[in-house]
Chains A and B, each alone.
Chain A
Amino acid sequence: MYYQTGSYNFPPKRSVATDPLERIERMAAAHAVVIFSNSTCCMCHAAKRLFCGMGVNPTVYEIDQDPRGKDLEKALLRLLGGASAVPAVFIGGKLVGAIDTVLASHINGSLVPLLKDAGALWL
């Protein structure tokens, strides 16, 4: 698991004012499996354990430790359309969803092919 903490310094200073959605997109595209999480959230812990248990190394962004985390949270909430902004799972840069979607896709067998396509899992 790779944790990205603190401010995301890669883009030059003027894009600090970047739209949070764009930030999310960029962060999600950077790695095969990205989980937006909250360090105190237990369901996020469950999401992380799920992927680790499958042998996947997800990249985790703890948004409560991000200086602009509140914006991210709001944007994620809108993206997921549910009750909670976290955990939010992206695979191959695309949004998979919250924990319920992730679990459902794992049960119906669509999660593993997704992971393989994104290069996060090898048989």
Chain B
Amino acid sequence: MASHRVGEADSGAPHHHHIPYAIPHMLHHPNNSTFINQEGSAFDFGELEEAIILQGVKINNDDKKQPLYTAIRPAATLDMFPSWPMRFQQHTPRGSSKSGEESTDSGSAVNTLSNTPESPSDHRQPPPPPPQMDAAGGIDSPRLSGSHSQPAAKPAPEKTLRRLAQNREAARKSRLRKKAYVQQLESSRIRLAQLEQDLQRARSQGLFLGGGGAASGSISSGGAIFDMEYSRWLDDDHRHMSELRTALQAHLSDGDLRVIVDGYIAHYDEVFRLKGAAAKSDVFHLITGMWTTPAERCFLWMGGFRPSDLIKMLIPQLDPLTEQQFMGICSLQHSSQQAEEALSQGLEQLQQSLVDTIANGSANDSMHHMAVALGKLANLEGFVRQADNLRQQTLHQLHRLLTIRQAARCFLVIGEYYGRLRALSSLWASRPRESMIADDNSCQTTTDLQMVQSSQNQFSNF
């Protein structure tokens, strides 16, 4: 049997998908040896079971070096639990060979049986993964490889190996279920956003400004797209910050540090570019701060942070500064304040003009007034653009004024500051609210709100 396995493994790419000889808690088949002996069997009961459990998640076996526990292309999903490594250590080829015969057929079988993961349709709620199996599965890989050096104990190996393989398989299945669940959540979120948008459209027939759409929390598709891009940007931000942190601690050379800092600047340039695109498709989403966490929204100015406030926060954190640097940064703060004031006044005039237009909209002339008002609303995008321009320029100027080491620390401080602000939002959202328990209705609302917020914050917290 062992040679059979080895032959299998050598013939194809080293796959690591193990359908164990027996999955007692899943199958009712007493005789399991039939699976083992069929080389390259296209249809495996274990495969069918797995496919059903996975609920239409496609397993990609095309990569040569398929890690053990990653079956789905990670690019399609948001890594909701990045602290759980998406790629585990790989099995040695010998390790996979033992139960590796399934690997060749698992790909083909499951691929034919499953749907594409992108379809947001009926994902059933996956059963909770057996926790002890997970742990066992995680530890199993080295143990299994070790076990292949043929331990002396003769009666143990087959049963042990079978059990280990089962554990591995169960662990893998639970990981895949988790992935499927995450994708389900993701697609439900998009669906929810679109449903809200449709609902909003239906409700706002003939109403100006969408009848208080912002209050009902509807997200346009442009807004939903930006939210996804932004959450990815936040993940990137986390990565950049770790890089900065380790670079500073490792006392890298200025040249190396410069590369990292430049990368961080480019990372910020990217978010401003994203916001620019979002401003075109849904300026309200930006300007009302629906893309940020509630705590950040408190301090929102024209769709983002207020640059002069940021500098004010930074000055004490950037010590020691030379006299010249200090003057430069104070001057930067001053200029930023003036620019913010100018833009705020411009926006105020826009709002006043809008109020006048709407107030004077008579029944006879309503269409004309609507058209005029729409034209004025279009200017909002310009203001958000200029505010972002101001933010971007401020960060670049900071970069110019500081030494490379100071700049690295500066950006780390900024990142950590906003990270804490976001964390504050999460904590606030999940704080215990005993007063709500009595009232069923409000409890429901609270829970929903919490879910929405925590799903939002989940992305920003990592």
Partner of A50, one of B338, B349, B382: B338
Q: Which residues of B contact A42 (CB under 8 A)?
A: 346-347, 349-350, 353, 379, 383
In the complex, A16 has a CB within 8 A of chain B:
no
Q: Which residues of A contact B204 (CB under 8 A)?
A: none
A52 to chain B, nearest CB (A): 9
In the complex, B342 has a CB within 8 A of chain A:
yes
Residue interface bits B329-357, CB-to-A below 8 A is 1, else 0: 00110011011011101110110010000
For B346, the closest partner residue in chain A by CB is: A46
Interface core residue of A40, A50, A54, A107 (most chain B CB under 10 Å): A107
CA distance A108 to B390 in the complex (A): 10
Residue interface bits B376-405, CB-to-A below 8 A is 1, else 0: 000100110110011001101100100000
Contact B389 A100 (CB under 8 A): yes
CA distance A118 to B363 in the complex (A): 52
Given contacts A46-B343, A107-B390, contact A54 B338 (CB under 8 A): yes
Contact B389 A104 (CB under 8 A): yes
Contact B345 A106 (CB under 8 A): no
Q: Which residues of B contact A1 (CB under 8 A)?
A: none
A106 to chain B, nearest CB (A): 5
Residue interface bits A40-63, CB-to-B below 8 A is 1, else 0: 111101110110011000000000
Contact A108 B346 (CB under 8 A): no
CA distance A45 to B350 in the complex (A): 9
B203 to chain A, nearest CB (A): 30
Residue count of chain B within 8 Å CB distance of chain A: 28
CA distance A47 to B400 in the complex (A): 25
Partner of A109, one of B331, B346, B389: B331
Q: Which residues of B contact A49 (CB under 8 A)?
A: 341-342, 345-346
- Tally of A-B residue pairs with Cβ under 8 A? 71
CA distance A99 to B379 in the complex (A): 13
Partner of A103, one of B349, B353, B379, B386: B386
Partner of A53, one of B328, B338, B350, B396: B338
CA distance A109 to B394 in the complex (A): 11
CA distance A47 to B350 in the complex (A): 13
Contact A106 B353 (CB under 8 A): no
CA distance A54 to B390 in the complex (A): 17
Chain A 22-54 residues near chain B, CB threshold 8 A: 40-43, 45-47, 49-50, 53-54
B435 to chain A, nearest CB (A): 44
Contact B386 A100 (CB under 8 A): yes
CA distance A43 to B347 in the complex (A): 8
Contact A45 B349 (CB under 8 A): yes
Contact A103 B350 (CB under 8 A): no
For B398, the closest partner residue in chain A by CB is: A107
Interface size class of A (residues with CB under 8 A): 20 to 34
Q: Which residues of B contact A99 (CB under 8 A)?
A: 386
Partner of B339, one of A43, A84, A103, A109: A103
Given contacts A103-B393, A109-B397, contact A46 B336 (CB under 8 A): no
A93 to chain B, nearest CB (A): 23
A88 to chain B, nearest CB (A): 15
For A102, the closest partner residue in chain B by CB is: B339
Residue interface bits A11-26, CB-to-B below 8 A is 1, else 0: 0000000000000000
For A105, the closest partner residue in chain B by CB is: B393
Given contacts A42-B379, A45-B346, contact A50 B339 (CB under 8 A): yes
Q: Which residues of B contact A109 (CB under 8 A)?
A: 328, 331-332, 335, 397
Interface core residue of A41, A43, A100 (most chain B CB under 10 Å): A43
Q: Which residues of A contact B390 (CB under 8 A)?
A: 103, 107
CA distance A104 to B346 in the complex (A): 17
Residue interface bits A79-123, CB-to-B below 8 A is 1, else 0: 000001000000000000001100110111101000000000000
A40 to chain B, nearest CB (A): 7
CA distance A100 to B336 in the complex (A): 13
CA distance A43 to B350 in the complex (A): 9
Partner of B393, one of A54, A84, A107: A107
Q: Which residues of B contact A106 (CB under 8 A)?
A: 335, 338-339
Interface core residue of A46, A49, A53 (most chain B CB under 10 Å): A46
A2 to chain B, nearest CB (A): 19
Contact B341 A53 (CB under 8 A): yes
Q: Which residues of B contact A41 (CB under 8 A)?
A: 379
Contact A108 B397 (CB under 8 A): yes
Q: Which residues of A contact B343 (CB under 8 A)?
A: 46
Contact A47 B353 (CB under 8 A): no
Chosen A-B contacts, 14 in total, with CB atoms closer than 8 Å, are A40-B353, A41-B379, A42-B346, A46-B346, A49-B346, A50-B338, A54-B338, A103-B390, A103-B393, A107-B336, A109-B328, A109-B331, A109-B332, A109-B397
Kindly list 10 other residue pairs between chains A and B, CB separation below 8 angstroms, not including A49-B346, A53-B338, A108-B393: A41-B379, A42-B347, A43-B379, A46-B347, A54-B338, A103-B390, A106-B339, A107-B393, A107-B397, A109-B335
Q: Which 4 A-B pairs have the closest CB atoms?
A: A46-B346, A50-B342, A42-B350, A107-B393
Interface residues of B (CB under 8 A from A): 328, 331-332, 335-336, 338-339, 341-343, 345-347, 349-350, 353, 379, 382-383, 385-386, 389-390, 393-394, 396-397, 400
